[in-house]
Chain A
Amino acid sequence: MMAADAPLLDVADLGIQLTTSRGPAKAVREVSFTLRRGETLGIVGESGCGKSITALALLGLLPDSADVSGSIRLDGRELVGLADADYCKLRGNRISMIFQEPMTALNPMHTIGHQVAEPLLRHTGCSATEAKRQAIALLDRVGLPDPARRYDAYPHQFSGGQRQRVTIAMALACSPDVLIADEPTTALDVTIQRQILDLIADLVAERGMAMILISHDLGVIAENVQRMIVMYGGTVVESGTTDAVFSRMGHPYTQGLFRARPRLGARRGTRLATIAGTVPELADLPAGCPFADRCTLVVDACRAALPSLSEIGAGHGVRCIRTDAALSRDPAGVIA
């Protein structure tokens, strides 16, 4: 048996190379993190920084042309290079995922009851009646009104928020060890967002699952996870406990993200701070720090080589050689 504090999921030095029309692209490099049973981890970053592709790599759902290096271990079992048939037994059973778009994540041709009961039938080998009973209980738990009667309804008969509840029920059907939520509320309106996030948080706590929450929204991350990693240009630029990162942002990119968030109560006419420039193309990433071209603290050494992750606190790592300058620029963090 594994020791109680051994990580459930251990990702070490994960690299993903994709073949694109413009040549090989290093979509993800040197990504490492661990996840313990019952722990929640947030991955934050802007579009194209490698968040979703990291999530897909955990599920082994990358395109065939993708070249994965490093290791992903679930309970000590190596998942990189696992045969697809074996992976199928893990997906939906021990690792499952909630997708961004509830409007398209459900098959329009099948009833929602069928779609929730399916993973149960596949992975647990229970009878059809039992699967139906459990599916109704799940739909009830995720807050779908009158689940027994709506069991045979089709996805188009539900609203976006209700559909997201259904996809959550699907993902939770087999009580997975790891739940990956890829921007679960981005497509929903704000009032529903909170309900869905609360529901996910309750379910994660209730079932002792580990969760990886992917979001571009720092507010969502701050309120919902214990530890977080900030990704940029396919690599982890900052990682640590949510409290540590928010109280002492060590990477210029994290600081930029934080300043760029919209705030209620800001004075009229105040412009939102932006980070100048755009995300680098993954096909021609610079050799050095991927953020160098947009960073105000850049020095020549930044462009020489990808900085290594250095610790600035207990378990709080920053991939920046100018951390000291960044920290002194924003004394006591920018959260105040």
Chain B
Amino acid sequence: MIAQAGTAPAPNAFWRRALRHRSFVVGALLCLLVLGAALLSLVWTPWSAYEIDVASKLRPPSSAHWLGTDVLGRDIVSLLLVGARATILVGIIAVGIGLTCGVCLGLIAAAQRGWTEEVIMRFSDFTFAFPAVLSAIMLAAVIGPGMVTSITAIGIFQIPVFVRVTRGSAGAIWAREFILAARAAGKGRVRITIEHVLPNILSILIVQATIQFALAILAEAALSYLGLGTQPPQPSWGRMLNDAQTLLFQSPSLAVYPGAAIALAVLGLNLLGDGLRDLLDPRLARQR
């Protein structure tokens, strides 16, 4: 390959490239939609998401209730808007816990090797062996069921996943020659980890984080169903899906709306993750 002209990647250039990247744009729009719904629900909802009106239960879509009402007569649109909050909170905080702790531990394991690595990896195996539901039950016994319980349980469950992914990919980077070159240039382990290892595994972590985000949303739904997560009357998409399950034959649309909302949020995150991965990699970025 003969050199082509290399231009300075100014911040503007990054955004110009980002706006041309289709999946990044679509993903960002979907994520903004969910975020916007959650923010909107703080100031306005068409109806109250908490008021029960059994007289108008299971209404089909109408001009008053755009997507109809559920079995307790609550407005579906309002429930979806308020439910977005729980989804975002659980997803971001739980994945945030898993990502932060997991990546730190994984990077330490890859950089230190030896018994430090052994301890970290056995610890993560141990954590991984506990199903999220089990740790949620234990936590619920201590601090009571609720959103904090489910977030913490899901977050803890995410840690070993990130530890393993980070350790594996960071280990592969440590074996590359440019790491040896960086060491020969006088850099210590900490600097090499931050400046060389982390940027090179970032794309893998972003993709993993979007997958884990989707799993966290689903796990929250499962925990809510067991009564360990979001407590009624606080709505969440997972709870809506589980409430709809008993009425699947009378009004299947009740399951479709939260299901579609979860699917769109997960799709948006995946597209956003893919887009970020491409945009952050200088080799892929040039080809677009």
Partners in one complex: yes
A99 x B5 contact (CB < 8 A): no
Contact present for A159 and B6 (CB under 8 Å) = no
- B6 and A154 contact, CB distance less than 8 A: yes
Q: Roughly how many angstroms separate A170 CA and B286 CA in the complex, as a whole number?
A: 24
| B 182-229 contacts with A by CB, 8 A | 182-188, 195-196, 199-200
Contact indicator B178/A106 (Cβ below 8 Å): yes
**Known contacts being A64-B114, A157-B4, A159-B3, is A91 close to B283, with CB within 8 Å?**
no
Contact B180 A99 (CB under 8 A): yes
Contacts A105-B178, A109-B200 given; indicate if A162 touches B3 (C-beta within 8 A): yes
Kindly provide the distance from the CB of A84 to the nearest chain B CB, expressed in whole angstroms: 7
Q: State whether B113 touches A64 (Cβ < 8 A).
A: yes
Instruction: Tell whether, in the assembled complex, residue B200 and residue A157 are in contact, meaning their CB atoms are under 8 Å apart.
Output: no
Binds B, one of A1-9, A115-123, A324-332: A115-123
Which of B2, B178, B283 makes the CB contact (< 8 A) with A154? Answer: B283
Query: In the bound complex, what is the Cα–Cα distance between A152 and B113 (angstroms)?
Result: 34
Which residue of chain B is the closest to A59 with respect to CB atoms?
B184
Q: Which residue of A lies closest to B200 (CB)?
A: A109
Of the residues A151, A157, A158, contact of B286 by C-beta under 8 Å: A157
Q: Which residues of chain B have C-beta atoms less than 8 A from A77's C-beta?
A: none
The smallest C-beta distance from A166 to any residue of chain B, in angstroms, reads: 11
The minimal Cβ–Cβ distance linking B40 to chain A, given in whole angstroms, is: 38
In the complex the two chains form, is B188's CB within 8 Å of A156's CB?
A: no
Once the chains bind, are A93 and B186 in contact (CB under 8 Å)? yes
- Chain A: interface residue count, which band? 35 or more
Chain A residues contacting B2 (CB-CB under 8 Å) are 159
A272 at the interface (CB under 8 A from B): no
- Taken together as a complex, chains A and B put the C-alpha atoms of A17 and B282 apart, in Å, by 41
Contacts of A59 in B (CB 8 A): 183-184
**Which B residues touch A100, using CB under 8 A?**
177
Give bound CA distance, A289 to B201, whole Å: 47
Are B283 and A99 neighbours in the complex by a CB distance under 8 Å? no
Is the CB–CB distance between B6 and A96 below 8 Å?
Answer: no
A84 to B111, CA, bound (A): 14
Q: Are A152 and B6 in contact (CB under 8 A)?
A: yes
Interface residues as binary, B81-122 with A (CB distance below 8 Å gives 1, 0 otherwise): 000000000000000000000000000000001100000000
Q: Please name all residues of chain B whose beta carbon is closer than 8 Å to the beta carbon of A296 when the two chains form the complex.
A: none
Complex CA distance for A116 and B223, rounded to whole angstroms: 52
* A145 CA to B195 CA, complexed, in Å: 27
> What separation, in Å, do the CA atoms of A118 and B186 have in the docked complex?
10
Residues from chain A with a CB closer than 8 A to the CB of B286 are: 154, 156-157
> Within B1-36, which residues are at the interface with A (CB < 8 Å)?
1-9
For B182, the chain A residues whose CB sits under 8 A away are 107
User: Are B186 and A91 in touch, CB under 8 angstroms?
Assistant: yes
CB-CB under 8 A for A167 and B3, given A107-B200, A109-B200: no
**Residues A107 and B178 in contact, CB atoms below 8 Å apart:** yes
Number of A-B residue pairs having CB atoms within 8 Å of each other in the complex: 103
| Choice from B3, B178, B283 contacting A158 with Cβ under 8 Å | B3
Residue of A nearest to B188 (CB): A88
Instruction: List A163-221 residues whose CB lies under 8 Å from chain B.
Output: 167, 170-171
Does A156 contact B186, Cβ atoms closer than 8 Å?
A: no
Rounded to whole angstroms, the CA-CA distance of A118 and B188 in the bound complex is 13
Given A108-B282, A153-B6, A157-B3; A88-B180 close (CB under 8 Å): no
Is A135 interfacial (CB-CB < 8 Å)?
no
| Complex contact B7–A152 (CB within 8 A) | yes
Check: B129 CB closer than 8 A to any chain A CB. Answer: no
B283 neighbours in A (Cβ, 8 Å): 108, 154, 156
Q: In the assembled complex, which residues on chain B have CB atoms less than 8 Å from the CB atom of A90?
A: 186
Q: Does A276 contact B (CB under 8 A)?
A: no
A119 touches B3 (CB 8 A): no
Minimum CB–CB distance from B286 to chain A (whole Å) comes to 7
Point out the residue from B4, B5, B186, B196 that lies within 8 Å of A107, measured CB to CB: B196
- Whether B177 and A105, one on each chain, are in contact in the complex, defined by CB atoms closer than 8 angstroms, is yes
Could you say which residues of chain A place their CB within 8 Å of the CB of B113? 64
B288 within 8 A of A: no
Is the Cβ of B185 less than 8 Å from the Cβ of A118?
yes
Q: Is A237 an interface residue (CB 8 A)?
A: no
**A149–B5 touching, CB < 8 Å:** yes
Give the residues in chain A near B6, CB-CB below 8 Å.
Answer: 149-150, 152-154, 157
Q: Given A93-B186, A105-B178, A119-B185: A156 and B3 within 8 A (CB)? A: no
Q: Give min CB distance, A176 to chain B, whole Å.
A: 10
Nearest 7 pairs of A and B residues by beta carbon:
A153-B6, A92-B185, A92-B186, A91-B186, A104-B177, A109-B199, A154-B282
What are some 28 contacts across the A-B interface (CB < 8 A)?
A59-B183, A61-B184, A64-B113, A64-B114, A84-B188, A89-B186, A91-B185, A96-B184, A96-B185, A99-B181, A101-B177, A105-B177, A105-B178, A106-B178, A106-B181, A107-B178, A107-B182, A107-B200, A109-B196, A109-B199, A109-B200, A110-B199, A149-B5, A149-B6, A153-B7, A158-B3, A162-B3, A170-B181
**Known A97-B184, A122-B187, A157-B6; further 7 A-B contacts with Cβ < 8 A:** A61-B183, A64-B114, A91-B183, A92-B185, A101-B177, A153-B6, A171-B184
Which residue numbers of B lie inside 8 Å of A, CB to CB?
Answer: 1-9, 113-114, 176-178, 180-188, 195-196, 199-200, 281-283, 286
Binding site for B on A (CB under 8 A): 59, 61, 64, 84-85, 88-93, 96-97, 99-101, 104-110, 118-119, 122-123, 145, 149-154, 156-159, 162, 167, 170-171
